[in-house]
Structure 1
Amino acid sequence: MVFTLFRPIPVKILPRSGRQQALPILGCRQTQPHQEILEKIMQIPNTNVVKAQTAVIAEFLTSKGLEASQPAILTLLAKLQVAESSVVGAAKVQADAAAENWTASAGAMTDEQYVTRGGNCCPSCGSHDISGGSITVDGRSAYQGVTCADCDAEWNDTYTLTGYDDLEGGIDKDNVDAVVADVKDRGERHGFNVDDEAQANDCVDGSAEILGLTLSDAEKKLAVRQLLE
Structure 2
Amino acid sequence: MSNILEYVRIFLEDNGAMISQGIADTLFMTFTATFAAYILGLPLGILSEVTRNGGIRPRPILNKILGIIINIGRSVPFIILLVAVIPLTRLLAGTTIGPKAATVPLIIAAVPFIARLVETSLREVDNGVIEAAKAMGATDLQIIFKVMIPESLPSLILGASLATITVIGYTAMAGTVGGRGLGDIAQRYGYHRYQPDIMFVTIVLLIILVQIVQNVGHIASKKIDKRGKGEM
TM category, shorter: under 0.3
TM-score (norm 1): 0.22
TM-score (norm 2): 0.22
Higher relative contact order (CA 8 A, sep 6+): 2
Larger of the two Rg values belongs to structure = 1
